[in-house]
Structure 1
Amino acid sequence: MMLAAKIVLVALCALLVLVILLQSGRSAGLSGVITGGSNQMSNRRSKGLDSFLGKVTVVLAILLFLVTMLIAAFYHYNIH
């Protein structure tokens, strides 16, 4: 049971990092001013995708927290 929880934890960590990296940054508008903005228009993402990735990030973060607490409970009650 502990091994399965650890595998799920590692998978959640990798997914969370991937989803966070896929999101466009909050300062994306300012980088267009500095670089000229020509490549900013061609790489613009839809607001729907950013909203979806934000919700997925929240769900993955909550799952990561819950699995971490589960592993901590396993260690506390010596369930190996």
Structure 2
Amino acid sequence: MAALKIILTVLLVIAEVFLIVIVLLQPGKTAGISGSIAGGAETFFGKNKARSYEGKLQRWTKISAGAFIALNIILVLVNKLA
């Protein structure tokens, strides 16, 4: 049981670091006054947003956050059983 705790803890730390890096790589959403003036340009790029760099980062953020939550729950359950 101790080996399982160590493995889960290592996986949790890896997921934490990965989540932090992914969130820090994402660009800011604030465009300021230029975003309100040129807001119509986003509708063209909005169609292919899932294929863009930002879309991929958002997808990986969701996946890594889900893995982080799942690993935390599993680790708590393992600690309760031990």
TM interval, short-chain normalised: 0.7 to 0.9
What TM-score results when the alignment is normalised by the length of structure 2?
0.72
Runs of 4+ displaced beyond 6 Å: none
CA shift for structure 1 position 30: 1.6
SS of 1:25 mapped into structure 2:
coil
Gaps of 5+ in 2: 36-48
- Residue 30 of structure 1 corresponds to 32
Q: In angstroms, what is the RMSD of aligned CA positions?
A: 1.6
- Residue 4 of structure 1 corresponds to 7
CA shift for structure 1 position 31: 8.2
CA displacement, residues 49-69 of structure 1 (integer Å, 9 cap, x when unaligned): 000000000000000000000
What TM-score results when the alignment is normalised by the length of structure 1?
0.74
- Which whole-Å CA distance do the structure 2 matches of 1:25 and 1:31 have between them? 14
Residues matched between the structures, number: 64
Taking only the aligned residue pairs, the percentage that are identical comes to: 17
- Residue 17 of structure 1 corresponds to 20
SS of 2:28 mapped into structure 1:
coil
One of 53, 56, 72 as aligned partner of 1:68: 72
What is the one-letter code of the residue matched to 2:12?
Answer: L
